[in-house]
Amino acid sequence: MNEPLLSVRDLEVAFPTRRATLTAVDRVSFDIAAGEVLGVVGESGAGKSLTGAAIIGLLEPPGRIVGGEVRLKGRRIDNLAPEEMRKVRGKRIGMVFQDPLTSLNPLYRVGDQIVETIRTHLRVSEAEARERAISLLQEVGIQGARARIDSYPHAFSGGMRQRVVLALALCAEPDLLIADEPTTALDVSIQAQIIALLKRLCRERGTAVMLITHDMGVIAETADRVAVMYAGRIAEIGPVRDVVQKPRHPYTRGLMGAIPTLGAEATRLVQIPGSMPRLSAIPRGCAFNPRCDSAFDRCRIEPPEGMGAGSSKVACWLYAETAEAETAGAETAGARA
Protein backbone atom coordinates (compact mmCIF):
# COMPACT_ATOMS: atom_id res chain seq x y z
CA MET A 1 0.00 0.00 0.00
CA ASN A 2 1.26 3.43 -0.89
CA GLU A 3 2.06 5.91 1.80
CA PRO A 4 -0.66 8.58 2.00
CA LEU A 5 0.26 12.14 1.11
CA LEU A 6 -1.16 13.53 4.31
CA SER A 7 -1.64 11.45 7.40
CA VAL A 8 -3.35 12.84 10.47
CA ARG A 9 -3.33 10.70 13.60
CA ASP A 10 -5.24 11.42 16.80
CA LEU A 11 -5.02 15.15 16.27
CA GLU A 12 -6.16 17.15 19.28
CA VAL A 13 -6.60 20.91 19.36
CA ALA A 14 -7.34 22.62 22.65
CA PHE A 15 -8.08 26.10 23.87
CA PRO A 16 -6.96 26.75 27.41
CA THR A 17 -9.36 29.10 29.19
CA ARG A 18 -9.45 30.33 32.75
CA ARG A 19 -11.97 27.74 33.85
CA ALA A 20 -11.02 24.69 31.83
CA THR A 21 -9.26 23.51 28.71
CA LEU A 22 -11.72 23.18 25.84
CA THR A 23 -11.01 20.41 23.38
CA ALA A 24 -12.18 21.68 19.99
CA VAL A 25 -10.73 18.87 17.89
CA ASP A 26 -10.73 15.50 19.60
CA ARG A 27 -8.58 12.60 18.34
CA VAL A 28 -9.20 13.14 14.65
CA SER A 29 -7.49 10.70 12.27
CA PHE A 30 -7.62 10.52 8.51
CA ASP A 31 -5.43 10.13 5.43
CA ILE A 32 -5.46 11.89 2.11
CA ALA A 33 -3.87 10.11 -0.85
CA ALA A 34 -2.07 12.03 -3.60
CA GLY A 35 -4.58 13.52 -6.02
CA GLU A 36 -7.54 12.69 -3.80
CA VAL A 37 -10.30 15.09 -2.77
CA LEU A 38 -11.38 14.64 0.83
CA GLY A 39 -14.48 16.55 1.83
CA VAL A 40 -14.81 17.61 5.45
CA VAL A 41 -18.37 18.50 6.29
CA GLY A 42 -20.09 19.58 9.47
CA GLU A 43 -22.14 22.34 11.02
CA SER A 44 -20.64 25.44 12.56
CA GLY A 45 -18.62 24.59 15.63
CA ALA A 46 -17.90 21.04 14.51
CA GLY A 47 -14.16 21.74 14.35
CA LYS A 48 -13.68 21.34 10.62
CA SER A 49 -11.94 24.67 10.03
CA LEU A 50 -9.76 24.19 13.11
CA THR A 51 -8.63 20.83 11.77
CA GLY A 52 -7.58 22.56 8.54
CA ALA A 53 -5.86 25.38 10.40
CA ALA A 54 -4.01 22.92 12.64
CA ILE A 55 -2.66 21.02 9.63
CA ILE A 56 -1.30 24.13 7.96
CA GLY A 57 -0.06 25.60 11.26
CA LEU A 58 -2.34 28.61 11.34
CA LEU A 59 -4.11 28.04 14.63
CA GLU A 60 -4.91 31.30 16.35
CA PRO A 61 -3.44 31.39 19.85
CA PRO A 62 -4.37 30.37 22.50
CA GLY A 63 -5.52 27.40 20.43
CA ARG A 64 -2.81 24.82 19.98
CA ILE A 65 -2.16 21.22 19.07
CA VAL A 66 -1.99 19.19 22.26
CA GLY A 67 -1.80 15.70 20.86
CA GLY A 68 -1.41 13.51 17.84
CA GLU A 69 0.65 14.08 14.75
CA VAL A 70 0.40 15.34 11.19
CA ARG A 71 2.66 13.86 8.53
CA LEU A 72 3.12 15.16 5.03
CA LYS A 73 4.76 12.52 2.83
CA GLY A 74 5.96 10.77 5.97
CA ARG A 75 7.56 13.87 7.50
CA ARG A 76 6.10 15.27 10.70
CA ILE A 77 4.98 18.85 10.23
CA ASP A 78 3.00 19.58 13.40
CA ASN A 79 6.10 20.21 15.52
CA LEU A 80 8.12 22.30 13.06
CA ALA A 81 9.60 25.62 14.09
CA PRO A 82 7.63 28.63 12.76
CA GLU A 83 10.36 29.38 10.18
CA GLU A 84 10.35 25.81 8.89
CA MET A 85 6.56 25.76 8.79
CA ARG A 86 6.57 28.90 6.65
CA LYS A 87 8.49 27.00 3.99
CA VAL A 88 5.96 24.18 4.01
CA ARG A 89 3.03 26.55 3.93
CA GLY A 90 2.46 27.84 0.42
CA LYS A 91 5.12 25.58 -1.08
CA ARG A 92 3.83 22.14 -0.08
CA ILE A 93 0.38 23.05 1.21
CA GLY A 94 -1.74 25.78 -0.36
CA MET A 95 -4.73 27.36 1.28
CA VAL A 96 -7.93 29.00 0.04
CA PHE A 97 -10.19 30.81 2.49
CA GLN A 98 -13.86 31.65 2.40
CA ASP A 99 -13.67 35.35 1.82
CA PRO A 100 -11.51 36.25 -1.17
CA LEU A 101 -11.40 39.90 -0.16
CA THR A 102 -9.65 39.23 3.13
CA SER A 103 -7.11 36.83 1.65
CA LEU A 104 -5.84 39.40 -0.83
CA ASN A 105 -3.98 42.51 0.26
CA PRO A 106 -6.06 45.46 -0.96
CA LEU A 107 -3.00 47.73 -1.23
CA TYR A 108 -0.99 45.57 -3.63
CA ARG A 109 -1.67 44.76 -7.25
CA VAL A 110 -2.73 41.15 -7.70
CA GLY A 111 0.24 40.50 -10.00
CA ASP A 112 2.71 41.66 -7.36
CA GLN A 113 1.11 39.37 -4.80
CA ILE A 114 1.40 36.36 -7.09
CA VAL A 115 4.97 37.23 -8.16
CA GLU A 116 6.01 37.63 -4.51
CA THR A 117 4.58 34.23 -3.63
CA ILE A 118 6.24 32.53 -6.60
CA ARG A 119 9.61 34.10 -5.82
CA THR A 120 9.36 33.18 -2.14
CA HIS A 121 9.05 29.52 -2.96
CA LEU A 122 10.74 29.03 -6.33
CA ARG A 123 14.07 30.30 -7.63
CA VAL A 124 13.01 32.28 -10.65
CA SER A 125 13.71 35.77 -11.94
CA GLU A 126 11.24 38.63 -11.59
CA ALA A 127 10.37 38.54 -15.31
CA GLU A 128 9.96 34.79 -15.30
CA ALA A 129 7.72 34.92 -12.24
CA ARG A 130 5.59 37.56 -13.94
CA GLU A 131 5.18 35.39 -17.03
CA ARG A 132 4.18 32.50 -14.81
CA ALA A 133 1.68 34.72 -12.98
CA ILE A 134 0.10 35.75 -16.29
CA SER A 135 -0.24 32.19 -17.50
CA LEU A 136 -1.68 31.18 -14.13
CA LEU A 137 -4.27 33.94 -14.29
CA GLN A 138 -5.18 32.80 -17.80
CA GLU A 139 -5.47 29.27 -16.54
CA VAL A 140 -7.92 30.23 -13.79
CA GLY A 141 -10.07 31.90 -16.43
CA ILE A 142 -9.31 35.60 -16.09
CA GLN A 143 -9.75 37.18 -19.48
CA GLY A 144 -7.13 39.65 -20.60
CA ALA A 145 -4.77 38.45 -17.88
CA ARG A 146 -1.85 40.45 -19.30
CA ALA A 147 -3.77 43.68 -18.77
CA ARG A 148 -5.51 42.76 -15.53
CA ILE A 149 -2.39 41.58 -13.71
CA ASP A 150 -1.70 45.17 -12.69
CA SER A 151 -5.18 45.75 -11.23
CA TYR A 152 -5.91 45.99 -7.54
CA PRO A 153 -8.15 43.38 -5.85
CA HIS A 154 -11.09 45.81 -5.57
CA ALA A 155 -11.31 45.93 -9.36
CA PHE A 156 -12.31 42.26 -9.46
CA SER A 157 -15.73 40.80 -8.69
CA GLY A 158 -16.17 38.19 -5.95
CA GLY A 159 -15.93 35.24 -8.31
CA MET A 160 -12.91 36.71 -10.10
CA ARG A 161 -11.20 37.38 -6.76
CA GLN A 162 -11.67 33.78 -5.73
CA ARG A 163 -10.03 32.79 -9.03
CA VAL A 164 -7.06 35.01 -8.16
CA VAL A 165 -6.86 33.42 -4.71
CA LEU A 166 -6.88 29.99 -6.34
CA ALA A 167 -4.03 31.07 -8.63
CA LEU A 168 -2.17 32.33 -5.58
CA ALA A 169 -2.67 29.07 -3.69
CA LEU A 170 -1.50 26.96 -6.64
CA CYS A 171 1.38 29.12 -7.88
CA ALA A 172 4.09 27.19 -6.01
CA GLU A 173 2.63 23.86 -7.17
CA PRO A 174 1.73 22.49 -3.72
CA ASP A 175 1.01 18.80 -3.10
CA LEU A 176 -2.03 19.57 -1.00
CA LEU A 177 -4.62 22.32 -1.15
CA ILE A 178 -6.74 23.10 1.89
CA ALA A 179 -9.89 24.90 0.76
CA ASP A 180 -11.96 26.26 3.65
CA GLU A 181 -15.47 27.11 2.44
CA PRO A 182 -14.13 28.32 -0.92
CA THR A 183 -17.55 28.98 -2.44
CA THR A 184 -19.69 29.95 0.53
CA ALA A 185 -19.46 33.68 -0.16
CA LEU A 186 -20.40 33.27 -3.83
CA ASP A 187 -23.65 33.05 -5.78
CA VAL A 188 -24.71 29.64 -7.08
CA SER A 189 -23.87 30.29 -10.72
CA ILE A 190 -20.40 31.58 -9.75
CA GLN A 191 -20.01 28.79 -7.19
CA ALA A 192 -20.40 26.19 -9.95
CA GLN A 193 -17.69 27.92 -11.99
CA ILE A 194 -15.24 27.95 -9.09
CA ILE A 195 -15.89 24.31 -8.13
CA ALA A 196 -15.42 23.19 -11.74
CA LEU A 197 -12.17 25.19 -11.90
CA LEU A 198 -10.89 23.81 -8.60
CA LYS A 199 -11.60 20.26 -9.75
CA ARG A 200 -9.93 20.75 -13.13
CA LEU A 201 -6.79 22.44 -11.79
CA CYS A 202 -6.24 19.86 -9.09
CA ARG A 203 -6.84 16.94 -11.44
CA GLU A 204 -4.37 18.33 -13.97
CA ARG A 205 -1.67 18.85 -11.36
CA GLY A 206 -2.41 15.83 -9.22
CA THR A 207 -2.95 18.10 -6.24
CA ALA A 208 -4.76 16.55 -3.29
CA VAL A 209 -7.55 18.65 -1.82
CA MET A 210 -9.01 18.91 1.63
CA LEU A 211 -12.35 20.60 0.95
CA ILE A 212 -13.95 22.02 4.09
CA THR A 213 -17.57 23.07 3.70
CA HIS A 214 -20.98 22.96 5.31
CA ASP A 215 -22.62 22.40 1.93
CA MET A 216 -23.25 18.70 1.43
CA GLY A 217 -24.20 19.32 -2.21
CA VAL A 218 -20.74 20.68 -3.02
CA ILE A 219 -19.13 17.69 -1.30
CA ALA A 220 -21.42 15.19 -3.04
CA GLU A 221 -20.27 16.21 -6.45
CA THR A 222 -16.67 17.16 -5.77
CA ALA A 223 -15.15 14.84 -3.19
CA ASP A 224 -13.89 11.27 -3.51
CA ARG A 225 -14.21 10.62 0.20
CA VAL A 226 -15.99 12.55 2.91
CA ALA A 227 -15.50 12.95 6.65
CA VAL A 228 -18.50 14.09 8.68
CA MET A 229 -17.53 15.97 11.84
CA TYR A 230 -19.59 16.53 14.96
CA ALA A 231 -18.46 18.30 18.13
CA GLY A 232 -14.78 18.02 17.26
CA ARG A 233 -14.82 14.36 16.29
CA ILE A 234 -15.20 12.48 13.04
CA ALA A 235 -18.57 10.77 13.16
CA GLU A 236 -18.26 8.97 9.87
CA ILE A 237 -15.70 8.79 7.10
CA GLY A 238 -15.94 6.93 3.83
CA PRO A 239 -16.37 7.09 0.05
CA VAL A 240 -18.75 9.92 -0.80
CA ARG A 241 -21.31 7.63 -2.47
CA ASP A 242 -21.64 5.47 0.63
CA VAL A 243 -21.92 8.36 3.05
CA VAL A 244 -24.46 10.29 0.98
CA GLN A 245 -26.62 7.40 -0.13
CA LYS A 246 -26.20 4.97 2.75
CA PRO A 247 -25.30 7.07 5.79
CA ARG A 248 -24.73 4.89 8.83
CA HIS A 249 -24.11 7.23 11.76
CA PRO A 250 -27.42 8.53 13.20
CA TYR A 251 -26.10 12.09 12.91
CA THR A 252 -25.21 11.69 9.24
CA ARG A 253 -28.61 10.14 8.61
CA GLY A 254 -30.34 13.07 10.29
CA LEU A 255 -28.17 15.56 8.44
CA MET A 256 -28.94 14.03 5.05
CA GLY A 257 -32.66 14.04 5.77
CA ALA A 258 -32.53 17.65 6.95
CA ILE A 259 -31.24 18.92 3.62
CA PRO A 260 -34.02 19.95 1.27
CA THR A 261 -33.29 18.50 -2.17
CA LEU A 262 -34.41 19.32 -5.66
CA GLY A 263 -35.20 15.71 -6.45
CA ALA A 264 -38.08 14.86 -4.16
CA GLU A 265 -40.78 17.07 -2.75
CA ALA A 266 -40.70 16.03 0.87
CA THR A 267 -43.54 17.34 2.97
CA ARG A 268 -41.44 17.41 6.10
CA LEU A 269 -37.71 17.52 6.62
CA VAL A 270 -36.04 15.19 9.07
CA GLN A 271 -35.47 17.11 12.23
CA ILE A 272 -32.64 16.46 14.67
CA PRO A 273 -33.83 17.73 18.04
CA GLY A 274 -31.65 20.17 19.94
CA SER A 275 -28.41 21.67 18.73
CA MET A 276 -24.69 20.98 18.77
CA PRO A 277 -23.30 21.03 22.34
CA ARG A 278 -21.04 23.85 23.46
CA LEU A 279 -17.36 23.00 23.80
CA SER A 280 -17.60 23.56 27.52
CA ALA A 281 -20.42 21.02 27.86
CA ILE A 282 -19.68 18.13 25.55
CA PRO A 283 -21.68 15.18 26.86
CA ARG A 284 -19.94 12.14 28.27
CA GLY A 285 -19.59 9.14 25.97
CA CYS A 286 -20.69 9.76 22.42
CA ALA A 287 -21.11 13.53 21.94
CA PHE A 288 -24.26 12.96 19.93
CA ASN A 289 -26.07 10.75 22.47
CA PRO A 290 -28.53 13.35 23.89
CA ARG A 291 -29.87 14.05 20.39
CA CYS A 292 -29.74 10.46 19.14
CA ASP A 293 -32.93 8.41 18.93
CA SER A 294 -31.09 5.09 18.95
CA ALA A 295 -28.79 5.81 21.91
CA PHE A 296 -28.39 3.11 24.56
CA ASP A 297 -26.45 2.80 27.81
CA ARG A 298 -23.01 2.31 26.31
CA CYS A 299 -23.35 5.55 24.30
CA ARG A 300 -23.67 7.56 27.50
CA ILE A 301 -20.50 6.16 29.08
CA GLU A 302 -17.88 5.32 26.50
CA PRO A 303 -16.94 7.48 23.52
CA PRO A 304 -17.04 5.34 20.35
CA GLU A 305 -13.97 4.95 18.17
CA GLY A 306 -14.03 4.77 14.37
CA MET A 307 -15.43 1.34 13.59
CA GLY A 308 -15.50 -0.74 10.46
CA ALA A 309 -12.89 -2.08 8.14
CA GLY A 310 -11.40 -0.63 4.97
CA SER A 311 -12.26 2.83 3.71
CA SER A 312 -15.48 3.36 5.68
CA LYS A 313 -15.42 4.07 9.38
CA VAL A 314 -18.23 5.09 11.66
CA ALA A 315 -17.92 6.21 15.27
CA CYS A 316 -21.09 4.69 16.67
CA TRP A 317 -21.72 1.84 19.10
CA LEU A 318 -24.58 0.60 16.92
CA TYR A 319 -21.96 -0.83 14.65
CA ALA A 320 -19.74 -2.29 17.36
CA GLU A 321 -20.69 -5.91 16.69
CA THR A 322 -20.21 -5.78 12.96
CA ALA A 323 -16.92 -4.02 13.59
CA GLU A 324 -15.71 -6.67 15.99
CA ALA A 325 -16.52 -9.37 13.44
CA GLU A 326 -14.42 -7.52 10.92
CA THR A 327 -11.61 -6.69 13.32
CA ALA A 328 -9.48 -9.70 12.45
CA GLY A 329 -9.34 -8.74 8.78
CA ALA A 330 -8.89 -5.05 9.52
CA GLU A 331 -6.04 -5.68 11.93
CA THR A 332 -3.91 -7.41 9.30
CA ALA A 333 -4.72 -4.72 6.75
CA GLY A 334 -3.75 -2.07 9.31
CA ALA A 335 -0.47 -3.80 10.06
CA ARG A 336 0.49 -3.78 6.42
CA ALA A 337 -0.27 -0.03 6.10
The torsion defined by the Cα of 40, 30, 169 and 243, in degrees rounded to 10, comes to -30
CB-based contact 78:65 (threshold 8 Å): yes
Burial class (CB in 10 A: 0-12, 13-18, 19+), 136: buried
- In sequence order, the 6+-apart residues with CB closer than 8 A to the CB of 5 are 32, 33, 34, 36, 72, 73, 175, 176, 208
Burial class (CB in 10 A: 0-12, 13-18, 19+), 127: exposed
As a residue count, the chain comes to 337
Binding status of residue 294 toward other proteins by CB under 8 A:
no
Binding status of residue 2 toward other proteins by CB under 8 A:
no
Compare residues 129 and 216 and give the one whose CB is closer to other proteins.
216
Binding status of residue 316 toward other proteins by CB under 8 A:
no
Binding status of residue 280 toward other proteins by CB under 8 A:
no
Q: Which of residues 259-278 bind other proteins (CB under 8 A)?
A: 259-263, 265-266, 268-272, 275-276
Report helix, strand or coil for 205: helix
Compare residues 255 and 316 and give the one whose CB is closer to other proteins.
255
| Segment contacting other proteins by CB under 8 A, of 256-264, 292-300, 304-312, 325-333 | 256-264
Give 5's DSSP letter.
Answer: S
Binding status of residue 94 toward other proteins by CB under 8 A:
no
Shortest separation between residue 276's beta carbon and other proteins, angstroms: 8
Q: Which of residues 167-226 bind other proteins (CB under 8 A)?
A: 187-193, 195-196, 214-218, 220-221
What is the total count of residues that contact other proteins (CB under 8 A)?
44
CB-based contact 123:115 (threshold 8 Å): no
Binding status of residue 328 toward other proteins by CB under 8 A:
no
Compare residues 114 and 226 and give the one whose CB is closer to other proteins.
226
Listed residue (90, 55, 221, 57) closest to 167, CA to CA? 90
Among 244, 307, 314, 318, binds other proteins (CB under 8 A): 244
The binding site for other proteins (CB under 8 A) comprises: 43-44, 157, 159-160, 187-193, 195-196, 214-218, 220-221, 240-241, 244-245, 254-263, 265-266, 268-272, 275-276
